[in-house]
Amino acid sequence: MSAAIPLSAQLINLFASVILLLAFAMLAQRRVLPLINLFALQGLTLCLSTLVVAFTTGQAHLYGSAALTLVLKAILLPWILHRLVRKLQVKADVEGLINIPATMIAGIVLVMIAFNVALPISQLSSAISRGTLGIALASVMLAFLMMIIRTKAIPQVVGFLAMENGLFLAATSATYGMPMVVELGIALDVLVGVIILGVFFFQIRDQFDSLDIRHLEKLKER
Beta bridge mates, 212:
152
CA 204 to chain centre: 24
In the predicted structure, residue 222 carries a pLDDT above the cut 70: no
State the Cα torsion 18-69-82-195 to the nearest 10°.
-140
pLDDT tens digits along 129-142: 667 888 888 999 99
State the Cα torsion 101-111-151-86 to the nearest 10°.
100
Q: What is the pLDDT of residue 2?
A: 44
Closest CA relative to residue 145, chosen from 23, 31, 43, 10: 23
pTM across the whole model: 0.81
In the predicted structure, residue 179 carries a pLDDT above the cut 90: no
Alpha-carbon distance of 63 to 68, in angstroms, equals 9
The helix or strand, by DSSP H or E, that contains position 205, with its residue range, turns out to be helix 180-208
Between 108 and 212, residue with greater pLDDT = 108
- Geometric angle at alpha carbon 99, from 216 and 31, rounded to 5°: 70
Alpha-carbon distance of 107 to 113, in angstroms, equals 10
The residue-averaged pLDDT of 104-115 equals 91
pLDDT band at 38 (very low <50, low <70, confident <90, very high): very high
Q: What is the pLDDT of residue 186?
A: 64
Q: What is the pLDDT of residue 184?
A: 60
- Asked if 139 and 23 touch (Cβ cutoff 8 Å), the reply is yes
pLDDT tens digits along 45-60: 999 988 888 888 888 8
